Amino acid sequence: MTKKRKQRILLIEDEAGLRQTLKLNLKEQGYKVITASDGHEGLEKARTKSPDLIILDLMLPGMDGLSLMRVLRLEEIDVPVLMLTARTSEMDKIIGLESGADDYLTKPFSLGELMARIRALLRRADRTRTRETLSSGGVTLDLVSRRATRDGRPLELSPKAFSLLAELMRHEHAVLSRDLLLARVWGEDYIGDPRTVDVHIRWLREQIEEDPSQPKLIQTVRGIGYRFEGGAEIEDGVTDDEET
């Protein structure tokens, strides 16, 4: 047993029954649970209670999960978010990813599945916080000196390209949309064409891919955006279960 501060989970869910069940189970797992029953209350608690993770229902009264997500990212409240969506439709899946949530689950889900996702997200966040380098698939970024290498060979990346690659690697295995990348790398105020992202991705691929025409590290997810896959380091596989 390690003496550690209890990790805090903010649960934003309007269905009272589900909220109670989840709260109880999360507490049993040793988490401190803060609850909110609508979007506005959720946002307020995200701002003031410094949660380690947020479980966010997509459909909420007041302010829905997507709008809430947008405000969190705008305010750079960089907490892992597990989105709960109601249906298994492709649309909801895309919404879950588009929103910039770190992971998502479609209802109904098993408690075991939920707990596994939570543990994975918290572990990932922990690693990211303490790291000064990002390394995967032969690519290493030193976030302090902002130097990048591929198999030990230095890469020449523009500051924006470096930031873009760092953003993708920080969220390895997750799909990040062009709009999200644009907002995080170029800033919310940047009025530009999402194709700016594509141009930088092309430059990056020329530097880091063995065959830029068959990219393996930076993958295009058609109609959505990009994903970094360094391979080998998938620890939990939880973000990878595609429906068959």
- Interface residues with Ca ion (CB under 5 A) are 14, 57, 59
Cβ neighbours of residue 124 under 8 Å, at least 6 residues apart?
80, 102
Return the number of the residue (42 or 225) whose C-beta is nearest Ca ion: 42
Least distance from C-beta 60 to Ca ion, angstroms? 6
Distance CA 140, CA 134 (A): 6
- Output the smallest distance, CB 192 to Ca ion, in A: 35
Sign of CA dihedral 234, 236, 239, 240: positive
Helix (H) or strand (E) run with residue 150 in it: strand 147-150
Q: How far is the CB of 86 from Ca ion (least distance, A)?
A: 7
Shortest separation between residue 73's beta carbon and Ca ion, angstroms = 21
Q: Nearest approach, Cβ of 64 to Ca ion (angstroms)?
A: 9
Burial label, 216 (beta-carbon count in 10 A; 0-12, 13-18, 19+): middle
Of residues 57 and 102, the one with the C-beta less far from Ca ion: 57
Q: Are 139 and 172 in contact (CB under 8 A)?
A: no
**Residue number of the CB atom closest to Ca ion:** 59
- For Ca ion, which is the closer residue by CB, 17 or 223? 17
Pairing outcome for strands 218-221 and 225-228: antiparallel
Nearest to 224 by CA among 67, 93, 43, 127: 93
Nearer to Ca ion, 59 or 94 (CB): 59
Residue closer to Ca ion by CB (options 17, 159) is: 17
CA 173 to CA 90: how far, in whole Å? 18
